[in-house]
C-alpha cells in the first residue's frame, strides 16, 4: 500500500513525522509537504508560477507551495504510482466547525478526494503535543486508515478527524459544528503612523450543538466528520425554483 | 441598502466595476477588493501578517490580501455599517463544478455567508467581456440581488451564479457539476537546469450531467447554484456509524 502524507504546518512539523511513522506500519509512506507553515491557506492552488520540490530525506519532499499544491505534485509529479490513501496532519490545533473551510490540512484531503483517492485529515486539539496525545492519535488513525482502505469511501467524500488533548473517552461520528469568534479585525498604526489591519477572530467558544465535532471534542471524544466536496444545498434548490426570477428556466 | 462588492481578479478588473455600477442602482455600493489578481486562492485568510487598505477612489478600497481578507476588512474595518448584501465578481471565466472549491470569487461569498450576510458570487464564462454579455449579467444580478434581499437566504447558504457568453436562453437552478482536467502537472527545467513543476490541469470538458451548472451554461442558460458552508455528508454519517472502529462511541 502506498500512502501520501502531507500537512499545512510544514515539512518539519513533528505532527507530520508522527503521522508518517504511523502510516509506515501500513505500507510505504511518502511525505510531500509545504517547506514552511502554510496554515489557513484554504484550498489555494498555485497556478501563476512554477513550484520547486526538494527531497530533503529519502521519501520526504519539501515543496514551496500550498498543501493543495503538494497533493498535486505528489500524485502527478513525484510519486512513482498513484497512492491508495492520502492523510493530512497531524495538525497542531483542531480543525472543526467553519474553520475547516480555511484549513490547509482539510483542503489537502479535499484535493485528494477530488482526484478520487480516499483521504483523511487529522488534527489534534493542542498546540504542543504530549506523547500520550500523539499515541492516542496515531493508534486511532492506523485503525481508521485500515478501514478506509478496506471499505472505501463514497465518491467525493473524505474524513475529517479531530482528537482531544488529554483523556480520550471514545469516538463519535459527527457533523461540522459552528464556532464563535472574538474581535474580527484589529486596527492599529505602524511605526511610521500608517494604519494597518490585522485579522483577529480567534475562537472564543462554539455553539454547543449535540452531534457536532466541537461538542464531541470538548467532551473528550475523537470526532470523525464525513465531508463532501459538492457544496450544493439540495434542500434550498427546490425553494429557489419558485422564485420569480428563477421560475421554469424563463427567458430573461 | 448597503452592498459590499468584491472579487478575486483584483480591484482594477472591469467585471468588478460593472458589478459595482449595477449594485449602485440598488443602494450604496462599496468596493473592497484585492490590489491585484488573486485567482485560485480559495478561502485563504491572512493571519500571520498585517494588511493594508488604500482608498484609491471614494468608496473603492484596494487591499493587499485575499478575497476572504477583503470581506473581513470591509465588514469589520472599512465600512461604517454592516452590509445588507455581499456580491463577488463578475469573475473573468466561469466558476463551476469542482473549480468553486479553489475560487476566490466563490470563497468571498462563502465568507460573507459565514458571517450571516446574504451573498452572491457571479462569474461570466468568457475571458474578455462583450458589452452584450455584461448587460445580460448585470441585468440578471440586479433582479436576483433584489430578490435575495427581499426573501433572504437560509443560514449558511449563498448563491453561485454563472452566466454563459453569447445568446442567453434563460435561467436554471442547478447543482454543482463535475469538470474533467487535462495533464495535471508539467515538469520542466529552468535556465540553470534545475527541475520545476507547474500545475496545469486546465479544464478539457465536463461530465454532462443534467441539472448541473456545467450542463446549463454549456447550453446557454444562466446557472444559479445554492451552496452551503456546512460540508458534512449527512448521507454517509449513518454508514460510518456502523464501522467497527466507530461503533457507538466505543472506548479505544
Q: Is the confidence at residue B228, as pLDDT, over 80?
A: yes
pLDDT of residue A246: 81
Please indicate, yes or no, if residue A189 is contained in any of the structural domains: no
Instruction: Say if residues A106 and A141 touch (Cβ distance below 8 Å).
Output: no
**B37, B185, B249 ranked by CB distance to A172: nearest:** B249
Q: Is residue B191 part of a domain?
A: no
Measured in Å, how far apart are chain A's first and last C-alpha atoms? 54
Q: Could you tell me if residue A88 is inside a domain?
A: yes
Nearest by CB: A170 against B40, B140, B252: B252
Q: Cβ contacts (< 8 Å) between B202 and chain A: which residues?
A: none
pLDDT at residue A202 greater than cutoff 90: no
Q: How confident is the model at residue A248 (pLDDT cuts 50, 70, 90)?
A: low
**In this structure, are residues A137 and A164 in contact, taking their beta carbons and an 8 Å threshold?**
no
Whole-model pTM: value is 0.94
- Give the span between the Cα atoms of A15 and A134, in whole angstroms: 8
pLDDT digits 0-9 by tens, B23-52: 999 999 999 999 999 988 888 889 889 999
Report the residue of B245, B248, B250, B251 to disrupt the A interface, i.e. the one with the largest count of A CBs within 10 Å. B245
- Overall average pLDDT of the B132-138 stretch: 97
| Count of domains for chain A | 1
The listed range with the strongest mean pLDDT (A151-165, A194-208, B204-218) is A151-165
Mutate to test the interface with B, among A98, A181, A231, A244 (most CBs of B within 10 A): A231
Count of pairs with CB atoms under 8 A, one residue in A, one in B: 242
Give the domain range for residue B53: 2-180+207-249
The answer, yes or no, to whether residue A137 has pLDDT greater than 90, is yes
Cα three-residue angle A152-B178-B229, rounded to 5 degrees: 80
The answer to whether the Cβ–Cβ distance between B43 and A43 falls below 8 Å is: yes
- A51-71 burial: b if 16+ Cβ within 10 Å, else e: bbbeeeeebbbbbbbbbbbbb
The three cell numbers locating residue A118 = 480516499
**Contact (CB<8Å) B226/A237:** yes
Q: What is the mean pLDDT of residues B65-87?
A: 95
Q: Is residue B198, in this structure, part of any structural domain at all?
A: no
Q: What mean pLDDT value characterizes chain B?
A: 93
The pLDDT tens digits for A203-246 are: 778 888 999 999 999 999 999 999 999 999 999 999 999 998 88
Q: What is the mean pLDDT of residues A32-53?
A: 92
Is the pLDDT at A249 greater than 60, yes or no?
no
Per-residue pLDDT at A150 exceeds 70: yes
d(CA B71, CA B67): 6
Contact state of A42 with B46 under an 8 Å Cβ cutoff: no
The CATH number of the domain where A214 resides is what? 3.40.1210.10
Smallest CA–CA distance, residue A154 to chain B, in Å, is 8
Query: Is there a contact between A201 and B46 if contact means CB atoms under 8 Å apart?
Result: no
Q: Is the pLDDT of residue B251 over 50?
A: no
Contact B44 A44 (CB under 8 A): yes
In a domain, A122, yes or no: yes
Q: What percent of chain A has pLDDT over 70?
A: 97
Question: For residue A141, what is its C-alpha cell?
Answer: 488513525
Residue B188 lies in a domain: no
Q: Which three cell numbers stand for residue A220?
A: 473528550
pLDDT over threshold 90, residue A41: no
Q: Which of A33, A31, A108 is nearest to B42 (CA)?
A: A108
Is B69 in contact with B63 (CB distance < 8 Å)? yes
Helix and strand element counts for chain A (H, E): 6, 13
pLDDT at A182 over 90: no
**For residue range B179-189, what is the model confidence (pLDDT) as tens digits?**
877 778 999 99
Instruction: Tell if the CB–CB gap between B199 and A147 is shorter than 8 Å.
Output: no
Mean pLDDT of the region B132-155: 96
Cβ-nearest to B73 among A185, A222, A226: A185
Q: What is the pLDDT of residue A251?
A: 45
> Do the domain assignments include residue B127?
yes
User: In this structure, what C-alpha cell is assigned to residue A191?
Assistant: 511605526
What was the pLDDT predicted at A76? 93
CA–CA dist B110, B157 (Å, integer): 8
**What confidence tens digit (pLDDT) does each residue in A87-111 have?**
999 999 999 999 999 999 999 999 9
Determine the pLDDT at residue A101. 92
Amino acid at each position: 500500500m502506498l500512502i501520501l502524507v502531507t500537512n499545512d504546518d510544514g515539512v518539519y512539523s513533528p505532527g507530520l513525522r508522527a503521522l508518517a511513522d504511523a502510516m509506515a506500519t501500513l505500507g510505504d509512506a511518502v511525505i510531500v509537504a509545504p517547506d514552511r507553515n502554510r496554515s489557513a491557506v484554504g484550498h489555494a492552488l498555485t497556478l501563476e508560477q512554477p513550484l520547486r520540490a526538494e527531497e530533503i530525506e529519502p521519501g520526504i519532499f519539501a515543496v514551496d507551495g500550498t498543501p493543495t499544491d503538494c497533493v498535486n505534485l505528489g500524485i502527478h509529479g513525484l510519486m512513482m504510482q498513484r497512492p491508495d490513501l492520502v492523510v493530512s496532519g497531524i495538525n497542531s490545533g483542531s480543525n472543526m466547525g467553519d474553520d475547516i473551510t480555511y484549513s490547509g490540512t482539510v483542503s489537502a484531503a479535499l484535493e485528494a478526494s477530488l482526484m478520487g483517492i480516499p483521504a483523511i485529515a487529522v488534527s489534534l486539539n493542542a498546540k504542543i503535543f504530549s506523547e500520550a496525545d500523539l499515541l492516542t492519535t496515531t493508534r486511532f488513525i492506523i485503525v481508521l486508515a485500515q478501514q478506509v482502505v478496506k471499505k472505501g469511501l463514497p465518491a467525493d467524500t473524505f474524513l475529517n478527524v479531530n482528537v482531544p488533548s488529554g483523556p480520550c473517552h471514545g469516538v463519535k461520528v459527527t457533523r461540522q459544528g459552528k464556532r464563535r469568534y472574538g474581535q474580527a479585525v484589529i486596527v492599529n498604526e505602524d511605526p511610521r503612523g500608517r494604519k494597518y489591519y490585522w485579522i483577529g477572530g480567534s475562537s472564543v467558544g462554539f455553539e454547543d450543538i449535540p452531534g457536532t465535532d466541537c461538542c464531541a471534542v470538548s467532551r473528550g471524544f475523537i470526532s470523525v466528520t464525513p465531508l463532501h466536496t459538492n457544496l450544493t444545498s439540495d434542500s434550498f434548490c427546490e425553494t429557489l425554483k419558485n422564485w420569480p426570477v428563477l421560475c421554469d428556466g424563463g427567458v430573461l
